[in-house]
Structure 1
Amino acid sequence: MFRNLLQFWKGKDFLRQVLEEFKNMLEDSHIMFKAVCESLIENKKQPGLEDKIYEIDKKINELQRDIRRRIIEHLSVQPSVDVSTCLVLMSVVKDAERLGDYAKNLLEVNKLLKKEIDKGVYSDFFSNTDEEISELFRQTK
């Protein structure tokens, strides 16, 4: 059993698992972003949107904490691993978590609006911004 535990913490298996979970964080953040943009920009009413966004955000936060904790454990069990790679992983995982927070912040902005956004007034500033950001999500994954 101890041998199996050590094997889990070694190299490619550990990295593959962390990267897969990181990808899941990005996908969840993208789902949040798209749903909030539909509500904020397209004025599409979505029942249960707030609960959905907060639930996904909580999942992303838990994944972020879990991944960072496991990276620290991995470094302590395998001190010969590339520390700089682990630090980069910790940083990008935190960035993915922040993307979820930003989507949640957009939802909160939407709740504070007294009326729907007039797309005509702001079209010069924000036309296709949501699509450009979605493309960045796709490229990052």
Structure 2
Amino acid sequence: MWRQIIELWKSDDLLDQAYNDSFEMMYVAREMCVEAIRVLREVDNSTVNQKIRNKDKIVNEYEQNVRRKVMTHCSVKGPEDLSSGMILVNIVVDIERIGDYCKNILDLASVRSKKLKVGSFEKLILDVEKEVITRFNKTIKVLEEQDEESALSMMSSFKGKIGSVCDEIVNTIATGNIEDLSVSEAVSLALYSRYLKRISAHLNNMITTVVNPFERIGFRAK
């Protein structure tokens, strides 16, 4: 279904622009994500680069442009392309939310005087960070190539590689079963884990568009 929709979009200049804008959004959001992780985890006394913060505004502008172009197209062409337009709008909403979570990570970095150290959680959080960046790159590729097999593989591995690991970190902190972190570090780690989980969840929502009809976007494949 999605492959045919893309071909339809590419046949129309306005929707072609909206389609391309959605990928530009993803590239900007990916850059934000990589930089936010680096600043929080590697930089002491960080003054967050305003250019990175401003990228969130760029993401928001892209989202508005995509919505406008899709609405204009559907208004002119009629309801026949409504479902395809709604799918694209769904995707850019997820990208915008990713931008917000990246900004949350930058906000967390800006209120800390030192880089975030996570003690005995280091291996777990490093694995999650690497997986989030890997999934970001794979999501872009899956959407570009409409690779259903890879999409299904990523959807099936989300919980095990990201969701359950982040939940384990937060649950351990919540029970107070930690000895090598300060209160500040523990709170920061819990928030950070949730932000990473939500970023990955929105990436997962996006790849469901490759294999699911509109009404099942964001849900497991049947």
| Structure 1 length-normalised TM | 0.81
Q: Secondary structure at the match of 2:51?
A: helix
Distance 2:16 2:23 in 1: 11
Cα pair 1:10 1:78 within 8 Å, conserved: no
Unaligned runs of 5+ in 1: 1-8
Cα pair 1:26 1:96 within 8 Å, conserved: yes
> 1:46 and 1:34, CA in 2 relative to 1: closer, same or farther beyond 3 A?
farther
Q: Provide the residue aligned with 2:93 in structure 1.
A: 94
Give the C-alpha shift of residue 108 in structure 1: 0.5
Q: Secondary structure at the match of 1:116?
A: coil
Distance 2:123 2:40 in 1: 16
Unaligned runs of 5+ in 2: 1-8, 141-222
C-alpha deviations, 1:40-95, integer Å up to 9, x for none?
A: 12237776x33112211111101101110111111111105321111111111111
Q: Secondary structure at the match of 2:80?
A: coil
> 1:23 and 1:82, CA in 2 relative to 1: closer, same or farther beyond 3 A?
same
Distance 2:62 2:72 in 1: 15
> 1:45 and 1:128, CA in 2 relative to 1: closer, same or farther beyond 3 A?
farther
% identical aligned pairs: 29
Cα pair 1:29 1:96 within 8 Å, conserved: yes
Distance 1:97 1:82 in 2: 23
Q: Provide the residue aligned with 1:122 in structure 2.
A: 121
Q: Provide the residue aligned with 1:76 in structure 2.
A: 75
Letter in 1 for 2:18: V
Q: Secondary structure at the match of 2:115?
A: coil
> 1:121 and 1:43, CA in 2 relative to 1: closer, same or farther beyond 3 A?
farther
Q: Bigger CA drift: 90-99 or 49-58? A: 49-58
Distance 1:44 1:95 in 2: 31
Runs of 4+ in structure 1 over 4 Å off = 44-47
> 1:134 and 1:44, CA in 2 relative to 1: closer, same or farther beyond 3 A?
farther
Distance 2:18 2:79 in 1: 18
Give the C-alpha shift of residue 121 in structure 1: 3.3
Q: Provide the residue aligned with 1:27 in structure 2.
A: 27
| Structure 2 length-normalised TM | 0.54
- Bigger RCO of structures 1 and 2 (CA < 8 A, at least 6 apart): 1
The answer to whether the aligner puts 1:39 opposite 2:57 as a matched pair is no
Cα pair 1:38 1:44 within 8 Å, conserved: no
